[in-house]
Structure 1
C-alpha cells in the first residue's frame, strides 16, 4: 500500500526521498529533521536538503526555533495546490504553443491587407514590435500618420531609416530624400509604402487608393530578404547620387531618366501597376 502511495507522489513531482519524508510527516507530526530521517529511511546527510525543498514548494510547514519542527500540508490541500498548478501550466502551455504555432505559420504565409487605414494599422504594429532597425519607404502623407509611432521606436533605441518621397523632416530618424520623389509620384500614378522591421517582417503595398489600397504582410524569408535588400540598394543609390550626381546625369540623363526609359515596357514610359 505504502509503495503505491510513493509511486503516486512521484507522479506529482516528488522525488523518492521527498515522498518518503512527506508520508512520514503525514503519519506523525510535528517532527524534527532527525526524527523524519529516522522514521522515513532518508539519509541524515540529505534530510535537511529534502525538507528545505518540500518547504520551498509549500508541501510542508516549518516551525522555526533552535530545533526546527516540520509538519505536512494536509493531503487535500496538497492535491488542490497541485491541481491548480497543473491547470495553470496547461493554460500557459496551450497559449504558448498556440503563439508558437501561429508564429511558425506566419513565417511561411503571405497575408493580404485591403484598405489604406488597415495597411497603416499593420505598419504601426510592425513599428511597435521592432527592436533593432526599421527601414521605411514612404511619402509625406503616410509619414504624418506614422510619425508618433516612429518617434516612439526611435526613443526606445530602434534605428529608424527613412527613404522619403517629398519633404519629410524629422529629428529622430536617418532621412534620405529621394532625388526624384515628385517625378515618381507622377510616373507611377500612386504612392506605395514599404517597411522592413528587424529584417524579419515586411509590409509592402499601394496606399493611395483609399479603400482599394492593398498590401502584403509577411515574415517569409523568401520575400523579407529581397525586399529589405532592395531598400538597402536604394540607400546605396542615393548615397552615390549625392556624391556623383553630375557625372551620373551626364551619362543617364536628369534623375537617370534614360535608365528608367530603358527598363520601361510602356510606350509612355509610365508605370501602370494601378491602372
Structure 2
C-alpha cells in the first residue's frame, strides 16, 4: 500500500525530501537538527535536503540566530505542482505535435486488421477532425460511426459522404451512389480527415478485414482525390443521368463491367 511519502515522491520529491516535508508538517518551525531527528534523514544530509525543498518552494525559511524551517501549506503546494504539471504537459504536447508535422513526409502506412480495429481507428480520426471529413460508407456499416460523426458535426466539422444505401446521416451532405449491391471483395470504408490522414479498406470480412491508415501524402492525396472524383461523378449523374445512362446503362453499369475488378486478392474471403 502506498504511503504519504510515496505519493510525494510521485510528485517529484526524493525519499529524504518527502520525509523532511512530512516532519515539518508535524512540527514547525523547526531546525535542521529537529527535522533530521524526526524524519530519519541523516544529519549530515539534512541541510542539503532542506535547501533542495526551498528551491522547490516546498518550505519557508527564517534566518535568525539559527535557520528555522516551515512547510508550505499542502493545498498551496499541490496546486502549484498541478499548474506546473499542466504547463509542462501543454509544452510537451506542442513540441511533439510540431515534431510530428516536421516528420510527416516519412509517415508510415499502417496495416490495420480486423473489422472492429478498423472502426476503432476510424472513430479516432473522426474525433480529431477539425474542418472536414470526406468518406465513403455502406448502409450496413453506417450505424457504427453515426454517433462519432454526429459529435463531429456538432463541432462544426463539415461532413460529406458518398453512401452506398441510406446511412441515415441527417447531419451530413450525403451523395447516394447508384451501386447498391456488394462487389467482389466486399464493402469498403474510406475516410479522409482534413486532407491530412486517411483510413481505407475492406470492413465486411470480420476479423480478416484489412485497411491502410496513414498520414503519408503519397496515399492521403490520391485516396482523398478518389473520393472527390466520386462526388464529381455523382453531381454529373444528378444533372445528366438520363443521357449518361442511355449510353452506359443504369448506374453506369456498362462502365463497371468494362473496368471491373480483376482476380480476387488472396487475403480477401
Q: TM-score range by the shorter chain?
A: 0.5 to 0.7
Q: Which secondary structure state, in structure 1, belongs to the residue aligned with residue 56 of structure 2?
A: helix
Q: Which residue of 1 aligns with 2:56?
A: 80
* Correspondence for 1:254: 250
Deviations 1:125-183 (A, max 9, x none): 0000001101110012221011001000001100011111112222211011111222x
Q: In 2, Cα distance between the equivalents of 1:134 and 1:98?
A: 24
Q: Distance in 2 between matches of 1:92 and 1:177?
A: 43
Deviation larger for 191-200 or 104-113: 104-113
Q: Does the CA-based 8 Å contact 1:114-1:215 persist in structure 2? A: yes
TM-score normalised per structure 1 = 0.62
For 1:122 and 1:265, locate their aligned partners in 2 and report how far apart those are by CA, in whole Å: 27
Alignment of 1:45-84 (within 5 A): 79-81=55-57
How far apart, CA to CA, are the structure 1 residues paired with 2:108 and 2:140? 29
Select the residue among 203, 217, 223 that pairs with 1:221.
Answer: 217
Q: Which residue of 1 aligns with 2:207?
A: 211
Distance 2:89 2:223 in 1: 38
Residue 92 to residue 180, structure 1, CA distance change in 2 (3 Å): closer
Higher gyration radius (CA): 1
Structure 1 residues 130, 265: closer, same or farther in 2, change over 3 A? closer
In the alignment, structure 2 segments of 5+ residues that lack a partner are 1-50, 59-79
Q: Please name the residue that 1:28 is paired with.
A: none
Partners of 1:156 and 1:90 in 2: how far apart?
A: 27
Give ranges in structure 1 of 5+ residues lacking alignment. 1-74
Q: CA RMSD in A?
A: 2.9
Q: For 1:172, what is the secondary structure of its paired residue?
A: coil
Residue 191 and residue 79 in structure 1: after superposition, are their counterparts in 2 closer, same or farther (change >3 A)?
same
Query: In structure 2, do the counterparts of structure 1 residues 212 and 104 end up closer, same or farther at CA, with 3 Å as the change threshold?
Result: farther
After TM superposition, the score normalised by the length of structure 2 is 0.63
Shift of 1:205: 0.7
